[in-house]
Structure 1
């Protein structure tokens, strides 16, 4: 739609032989002081001004943005494109297919349900690292992937043919965010004769990786993405923008992972949820594009909406390196300079808040054992691991020094590090400077003052190797995730470290499952060119697939003998992965402690085989002569890494890898593909089923009602993530989802994962709130205990109708059968983590009408509204505990009906049958969100507008 162009901003930009229509942001008063990211939003409003959703007043208000004010001005942002991965993308396409039928049933044209903006889906979440450490691991894992996901892939192929502007990158190609920065991202869009900034919303929270390319983009739930595909702008408040000034250069021996873990720690501590973070200053030019992408990728881990770097010469260099068309590269540079979007290192835009980091202060780091923001300096990793172990193992079970596996056996202290490539760390232990500040004495309390109470378990491996397993054994070492596999510096660094280790006669420990899952084929191309693949494979890092694998829980099973030993002794074993998420229960059901690390450190811990080692000061092993080998002895220098990058990586490798990216291999091309404008649902499919969202829907929405006599389905604590809520990982046979599949004739070995079955609401609802680490604080009434009996970890609750323990799904069904609405009580940061639409969809389908939490993460709060669930917040300073709520009460919420008059109440009244009353804050933050809630959800709102 043409802009009203109230400000006369429309003009032409000539680049080479081509001319483009653009909208000049300098026509708006105040533009020059705006941060880079808000200039992008300003252009967006100028170009989409329609006098209704986007008015001249909105544009003026953005130009007059007050940096220190609380966000209050609503704008409608229209993203240039939508990005999806297959776990979240399949339900998007399912919903669009269902919407076509709903439009038809209400007398409309089903073909109107069609993406109006480019929508691209990359299949990257389905491959599981079942096989590893062997030459045919990649081939066999892909074969298994197709066997498990044939129905889903056929459905996506139908979508690619049925919907305009919808493209699919087939399996075995790469990870969505790496494919995005290496190929899909435009930085500046050229469409219908216009040039404008590339902006994107994606169905994965790590869509922010593209921020490293100067692209404004963030993760949304699938329901928001569907609306964006259908032409609906994203309703948002003009955010606060945190300026993050960079100076200096990183020390030799540090990596992008070390940098991003430091930034994650800083920004989590500062508090940036719902804000934009923007990097500026003289240090920006010293940050390679791949490092910028790594920092952007981790934005969800510190909670910001975006974490963006402006366009500069490094952006242009990367676009050239990755084989972008020369005209496109020229357009990016010319457009950025014409619009004042080119980074000026001396500029100081207006920012709401400011932080600063000297890159020279970065030190080697990990993060864990369960949150990405819990940075661990490498020099303190052993001490802090032992302190953390007390949370996973009873103190009297860890007496004596922790075992490292029989083969380790090397002790000693390092001399002061002399190699420039791996400086020693003298940082205090995670900022604990006084023993009184520590949770306990960090070592003796963790391992016990006396002798060992339990012995390590002796294991015979599949190859006949005998070894001992103990707490702290590293059983998974995974080079995985778009976060780091897109970064040549750390990937080449890992391969060179592997080469150096092999040449010194070191080997991985036999209990370590080693996997290599790059984010694109480009990685294996430059490994081959550099001759480094054999060294990685010598240490067991064979290619297992091009996909997220371990980072999203697709680590595959541990070898049977390892799994059996871990479970027999209830060992607290460890994974080390180069990913972005290490939440409890996410990586592998046998693994309790998970650490994020750079790819070189992943290799190092595979060699060490344990977390109970000080890699900065203790030997990692011995060479053939019995000489201790330290990590610094095999750590490659930054010069060597850069030399390999210069010789092995070029535009030709990227161009070749992406030459025919949407075509797929023979497996993909030979899949039978359904046809037709509407999808022919298979009634017996256990992968793709028509969801019930539009059943009984009428042209006009029913009035919003108050909530009466609701019961508590779950009472939860702080930092409950969407991983705790949304179905993810393996499907257990004795779970409601497992029983459903068994009843439908699916054998156990074909259960697959929840992620692969996201197109089947019957499976997903049964897995909602079923994470094995979920802690529901409701207590089962007991005659022998006044307080009742605690529920076990996992998807359990108390059925208040019977007073008995039940699975959450079975209890929800019982409540629905009697017409009783449900609520959830929660603590701080409810819904943190990935942008999982099923965390909201499943909540709604279970019958939950409202959530009352202390605070929310942005994406999940928005998704709850998008599914018609009311997000409420306890009064400031109050919690469920301070109010005396136990979860046994019956709740009523009044004042919600004010929404029917077009207003959004600031608070609603919550009362219980026990006499507790309070005013809950209504977290419907914008008029657009209020519209969605009145219609019962965002999809219903879009559909009604479409046929209206």
Structure 2
């Protein structure tokens, strides 16, 4: 284990378990620790085990108790790192780049390797090209390999080249569901000085929904890939002691509600309360009625309500979940013994912890709901969904009219096969049971499958314009649905398995039927999915209104074929005799669901499914994998040599103030990483598409931005290219466009950045509140950096994106409370100077800087802003130009630590 201090070793205890004695760092002797929230107890143990002195630990306890107002920076050493392939491949790419740079400077490249366990799940590459047939899974899997063979070969090579890295091949499941069902240890062990040491499992992941593991009492959260690289190399994450918000559950969920309804209510509650930069912990007497699968569903949505983590207690239900999912009994024994010894085990009821803030939620007041059409936190009770849809549609159509787009209110006749159907506004183009959020939950999946059986029995079917899909989070889901005999009913409604990966919820919904896609020009199409994200432009470029719902409600809306329906009052279809069939006629009784679950979901099912978790399909095993220790990129359009260490010497260059800077984009509130980072399909008329065409790549072989994350040339051209991006400098034109200043010429964002680069003009971005919300996309920061942006000035930042900007050496600046571009009269046409940044070079850490914005008429607006570089370690990253240059220089002058034989 690594050590960061020469302080006296911490007190230890000894666990006597059936496999033998196991020692642990005992936190129970720390004064005041019994009143700490669970997350802070885990951080205390982490600090003590890694050598922090008692003074720092005492400072953490006092800060948590509200006895000190000073922001305290602490180091956190995660026990392991989990990655999905889209975000994980760039992490491996960065390690390869570091190895090459270390070798070029005469260092030992073999020192660049993961020092803590690292697992990568290939789950973000599958696209729903084919659906609605039993052949869909095979066809999609074939195309997945066809498109991604180069990336997959790179990952197979990396598994052999980097000791400590394990890869779960494609077709196994989604990272977060695989993590909670198989990878999570609960308590980890490592050998040190001849003894076995136990410590809490904790993880960071290159996906914002890593928080799903919080449902098992394991502390973890999403980070950008550049932070993951730092952690893998043994560097601690630098963080401020977070406020912890306690949410007390009371009551019990009413019959007819689901975990999805609960999570949408929690998302609305906590986003409204404000939990960005905070940890949320759940407790209370109502917890007894919240099974671990529901807890994981809630924890998965932590990024949607904005918290760093959303932690549940470890209790008897947690142990039962570990047993059900096939963990060895001796591991479960260790988990319980360790948690009880450390005061980390809950026997139910209200937590004795003293929280920074406290909220209460009566579960009995939760009602069936959906969320949308643009944000997960915009919950709509199902009994108001129809009215709200029509109101939101009217607003959207009014905007269309204002922008000169015809409304097309009368609908459109569309030929589908031999039939002609009429599509009206609200026509449902996509109905997808997808995402780890809900497919990890057997109760909602069984409810959906039984509803499908009841619908088939009544003779109902899904209209032909609805693209239906089922993308389970793991193979376990399919197996228990088959065990229950319910897969044929789902398939009769078109919900065939299309793949085991993250599909519709992350934009891999695939193409719509051509006539339906063409209708999108005249008709507002909608989607409904059981996912966690529904941001504009994310699900499909043809679909303008997207809604989140539980799996059974996805089927309900699919049967109706439209969002312009009241599911509680309108019939979903008619039987052969003309009798109307309503949602309540199809909804299974709770006892029926529980009966099927007890029969179909078994421990042996999980054990058999995960017995070969790291074994791939014949296609995977047959990949021609290079054997060289250094990866040769060649002229691939998928994987290119990274530019992020070009010109990085052994010492950092001075940080200079900005003079004569121009605004590349002026953006509003809630700009997500989906708006910033390249995601989804590559359009032929985009800068990225034009680049690929120039490389001789045909349109059919473009693949997605996510699949080409190893090629910075594609990614920089796709940064800020989202078709729904609204840049106030683009004269009302949506998409990746802007104006160059002062001449006012309109062009793509990429071309404008090149224009400024050729003239040595520094760039910045102006934005509103919640800048960078959404997924932990490191290319939202990497692309910003590659465009030449030196700083981003926003009203507020989401946690992960702010950290990623710092990790790339881009300085996040924040307006003071009460100030904004609007209140200061800034329209983005000004010329900007930022003074005070040079303080970083002088060894200082400027907390505020001055900005002078000079208008074309010579008038100047001067104001101070806060520098959102929150810790001394982050200031060090800025001085070095980002984490990668910092890691390079550290790798040249220091011997790496050792993580021990972690298990």
TM-score, length basis structure 1: 0.91
1:297-376 map, 5 Å: 297-344=300-347, 345-376=349-380
Indicate the residue corresponding to 2:675 in structure 1. Answer: 724
Indicate the residue corresponding to 1:797 in structure 2. Answer: 738
Using the TM superposition, give the Cα deviation of residue 706 of structure 1 relative to its aligned residue in structure 2, in angstroms. Answer: 0.8
Native 8 Å contact 2:115 2:233 kept in 1: yes
* CA distance in structure 2 between the aligned counterparts of 1:2 and 1:836, rounded to whole angstroms: 29
Indicate the residue corresponding to 1:874 in structure 2. Answer: 815
What is the aligned counterpart of 2:396 among 389, 392, 397? 392
Using the TM superposition, give the Cα deviation of residue 676 of structure 1 relative to its aligned residue in structure 2, in angstroms. Answer: 2.1
* CA distance in structure 1 between the aligned counterparts of 2:713 and 2:10, rounded to whole angstroms: 53
Indicate the residue corresponding to 1:228 in structure 2. Answer: 231
Using the TM superposition, give the Cα deviation of residue 187 of structure 1 relative to its aligned residue in structure 2, in angstroms. Answer: 1.1
Using the TM superposition, give the Cα deviation of residue 396 of structure 1 relative to its aligned residue in structure 2, in angstroms. Answer: 10
- Counterparts in 2 of 1:484 and 1:365: CA distance versus 1, 3 Å: same
Indicate the residue corresponding to 2:222 in structure 1. Answer: 219
Indicate the residue corresponding to 2:143 in structure 1. Answer: 144
* CA distance in structure 1 between the aligned counterparts of 2:134 and 2:546, rounded to whole angstroms: 27
Native 8 Å contact 2:854 2:861 kept in 1: yes
* CA distance in structure 1 between the aligned counterparts of 2:220 and 2:582, rounded to whole angstroms: 42
Which sections of structure 1, spanning at least 5 residues, go unmatched? 399-447, 780-789
Using the TM superposition, give the Cα deviation of residue 282 of structure 1 relative to its aligned residue in structure 2, in angstroms. Answer: 1.0
User: Deviation per CA, 1:196-241, whole angstroms, max 9, x where unpaired?
Assistant: 1000000000000000000000000000011101101000000000
Native 8 Å contact 2:64 2:241 kept in 1: no
Native 8 Å contact 1:791 1:797 kept in 2: no
What is the aligned counterpart of 2:652 among 701, 706, 710? 701
* CA distance in structure 2 between the aligned counterparts of 1:839 and 1:346, rounded to whole angstroms: 40
Indicate the residue corresponding to 1:636 in structure 2. Answer: 588
What is the aligned counterpart of 1:922 among 856, 867, 870? 867
Using the TM superposition, give the Cα deviation of residue 616 of structure 1 relative to its aligned residue in structure 2, in angstroms. Answer: 1.2
Using the TM superposition, give the Cα deviation of residue 47 of structure 1 relative to its aligned residue in structure 2, in angstroms. Answer: 0.5
Using the TM superposition, give the Cα deviation of residue 631 of structure 1 relative to its aligned residue in structure 2, in angstroms. Answer: 0.4
Indicate the residue corresponding to 1:56 in structure 2. Answer: 54
Native 8 Å contact 1:70 1:240 kept in 2: no
* CA distance in structure 2 between the aligned counterparts of 1:283 and 1:454, rounded to whole angstroms: 47
Using the TM superposition, give the Cα deviation of residue 358 of structure 1 relative to its aligned residue in structure 2, in angstroms. Answer: 1.0
User: Deviation per CA, 1:826-845, whole angstroms, max 9, x where unpaired?
Assistant: 00010011111000000000
1:161 counterpart SS class: helix
Using the TM superposition, give the Cα deviation of residue 151 of structure 1 relative to its aligned residue in structure 2, in angstroms. Answer: 0.3
Native 8 Å contact 2:688 2:714 kept in 1: yes
1:383-422 map, 5 Å: 383-394=387-398
Indicate the residue corresponding to 1:439 in structure 2. Answer: none
1:64 counterpart SS class: helix
Using the TM superposition, give the Cα deviation of residue 66 of structure 1 relative to its aligned residue in structure 2, in angstroms. Answer: 3.4
Using the TM superposition, give the Cα deviation of residue 319 of structure 1 relative to its aligned residue in structure 2, in angstroms. Answer: 0.3
- Counterparts in 2 of 1:642 and 1:458: CA distance versus 1, 3 Å: same
1:611-760 map, 5 Å: 611-682=563-634, 684-760=635-711
Residue 470 of structure 2 corresponds to residue 516 of structure 1: yes
- Counterparts in 2 of 1:832 and 1:137: CA distance versus 1, 3 Å: same
* CA distance in structure 1 between the aligned counterparts of 2:361 and 2:849, rounded to whole angstroms: 43
Native 8 Å contact 1:397 1:454 kept in 2: no
Indicate the residue corresponding to 1:420 in structure 2. Answer: none
Native 8 Å contact 1:246 1:356 kept in 2: yes
* CA distance in structure 1 between the aligned counterparts of 2:185 and 2:222, rounded to whole angstroms: 18
Indicate the residue corresponding to 1:430 in structure 2. Answer: none
Indicate the residue corresponding to 2:901 in structure 1. Answer: none
- Counterparts in 2 of 1:901 and 1:130: CA distance versus 1, 3 Å: same
What is the aligned counterpart of 1:526 among 474, 480, 489? 480
Indicate the residue corresponding to 1:497 in structure 2. Answer: 451
1:22 counterpart SS class: strand
Residue 402 of structure 2 corresponds to residue 459 of structure 1: no
Indicate the residue corresponding to 2:123 in structure 1. Answer: 124
Indicate the residue corresponding to 2:270 in structure 1. Answer: 267
2:713 counterpart SS class: helix
1:727 counterpart SS class: coil
1:391 counterpart SS class: helix
Indicate the residue corresponding to 1:194 in structure 2. Answer: 197
* CA distance in structure 1 between the aligned counterparts of 2:109 and 2:770, rounded to whole angstroms: 40
Indicate the residue corresponding to 1:762 in structure 2. Answer: 713
* CA distance in structure 2 between the aligned counterparts of 1:474 and 1:67, rounded to whole angstroms: 51
* CA distance in structure 1 between the aligned counterparts of 2:654 and 2:241, rounded to whole angstroms: 30
Native 8 Å contact 2:36 2:64 kept in 1: no
1:41-120 map, 5 Å: 41-49=43-51, 54-68=52-66, 72-120=71-119
- Counterparts in 2 of 1:189 and 1:601: CA distance versus 1, 3 Å: same
User: Deviation per CA, 1:347-374, whole angstroms, max 9, x where unpaired?
Assistant: 3210000000111111100000000000
Native 8 Å contact 2:650 2:889 kept in 1: yes
Using the TM superposition, give the Cα deviation of residue 180 of structure 1 relative to its aligned residue in structure 2, in angstroms. Answer: 0.2
* CA distance in structure 1 between the aligned counterparts of 2:55 and 2:289, rounded to whole angstroms: 39
1:663 counterpart SS class: coil
Native 8 Å contact 1:67 1:240 kept in 2: no
2:841 counterpart SS class: helix
- Counterparts in 2 of 1:5 and 1:808: CA distance versus 1, 3 Å: same
Native 8 Å contact 2:315 2:345 kept in 1: yes
* CA distance in structure 2 between the aligned counterparts of 1:134 and 1:390, rounded to whole angstroms: 36
* CA distance in structure 1 between the aligned counterparts of 2:350 and 2:729, rounded to whole angstroms: 56
* CA distance in structure 2 between the aligned counterparts of 1:498 and 1:624, rounded to whole angstroms: 17
* CA distance in structure 2 between the aligned counterparts of 1:337 and 1:692, rounded to whole angstroms: 49
Using the TM superposition, give the Cα deviation of residue 7 of structure 1 relative to its aligned residue in structure 2, in angstroms. Answer: 6.1
Native 8 Å contact 1:5 1:47 kept in 2: no
1:75 counterpart SS class: strand
Native 8 Å contact 1:67 1:241 kept in 2: no
1:434-473 map, 5 Å: 454-462=409-417, 464-473=418-427
Residue 838 of structure 2 corresponds to residue 838 of structure 1: no
Indicate the residue corresponding to 1:425 in structure 2. Answer: none
User: Deviation per CA, 1:602-621, whole angstroms, max 9, x where unpaired?
Assistant: 01111011111111122211
Using the TM superposition, give the Cα deviation of residue 596 of structure 1 relative to its aligned residue in structure 2, in angstroms. Answer: 0.1
Using the TM superposition, give the Cα deviation of residue 391 of structure 1 relative to its aligned residue in structure 2, in angstroms. Answer: 2.7
Native 8 Å contact 1:477 1:606 kept in 2: yes
1:373 counterpart SS class: coil
Native 8 Å contact 1:368 1:375 kept in 2: yes
2:863 counterpart SS class: strand
Using the TM superposition, give the Cα deviation of residue 267 of structure 1 relative to its aligned residue in structure 2, in angstroms. Answer: 0.2
Native 8 Å contact 2:10 2:48 kept in 1: no
Indicate the residue corresponding to 1:26 in structure 2. Answer: 28
Using the TM superposition, give the Cα deviation of residue 572 of structure 1 relative to its aligned residue in structure 2, in angstroms. Answer: 1.1
Using the TM superposition, give the Cα deviation of residue 693 of structure 1 relative to its aligned residue in structure 2, in angstroms. Answer: 1.1
* CA distance in structure 2 between the aligned counterparts of 1:5 and 1:533, rounded to whole angstroms: 60
Native 8 Å contact 1:737 1:764 kept in 2: yes
TM-score, length basis structure 2: 0.96
* CA distance in structure 2 between the aligned counterparts of 1:911 and 1:219, rounded to whole angstroms: 36
2:245 counterpart SS class: strand
Indicate the residue corresponding to 2:428 in structure 1. Answer: 474
Using the TM superposition, give the Cα deviation of residue 497 of structure 1 relative to its aligned residue in structure 2, in angstroms. Answer: 0.3
Indicate the residue corresponding to 1:574 in structure 2. Answer: 526
Using the TM superposition, give the Cα deviation of residue 181 of structure 1 relative to its aligned residue in structure 2, in angstroms. Answer: 0.3
User: Deviation per CA, 1:27-83, whole angstroms, max 9, x where unpaired?
Assistant: 21110110011101111011101xxxx333221212223344667000000000001
User: Deviation per CA, 1:381-422, whole angstroms, max 9, x where unpaired?
Assistant: 000000100232139989xxxxxxxxxxxxxxxxxxxxxxxx
Using the TM superposition, give the Cα deviation of residue 940 of structure 1 relative to its aligned residue in structure 2, in angstroms. Answer: 1.2
* CA distance in structure 2 between the aligned counterparts of 1:629 and 1:364, rounded to whole angstroms: 19
Decide which moves more: 821-830 or 700-709.
Answer: 700-709
- Counterparts in 2 of 1:585 and 1:134: CA distance versus 1, 3 Å: same
Decide which moves more: 593-602 or 466-475.
Answer: 466-475
Indicate the residue corresponding to 1:36 in structure 2. Answer: 38
Indicate the residue corresponding to 1:412 in structure 2. Answer: none
* CA distance in structure 2 between the aligned counterparts of 1:376 and 1:625, rounded to whole angstroms: 34
Indicate the residue corresponding to 1:287 in structure 2. Answer: 290
Using the TM superposition, give the Cα deviation of residue 913 of structure 1 relative to its aligned residue in structure 2, in angstroms. Answer: 2.6
Indicate the residue corresponding to 2:763 in structure 1. Answer: 822
Native 8 Å contact 1:708 1:891 kept in 2: yes
Using the TM superposition, give the Cα deviation of residue 553 of structure 1 relative to its aligned residue in structure 2, in angstroms. Answer: 0.4
Native 8 Å contact 1:711 1:890 kept in 2: yes
Using the TM superposition, give the Cα deviation of residue 121 of structure 1 relative to its aligned residue in structure 2, in angstroms. Answer: 0.5
2:738 counterpart SS class: strand
Residue 240 of structure 2 corresponds to residue 240 of structure 1: no
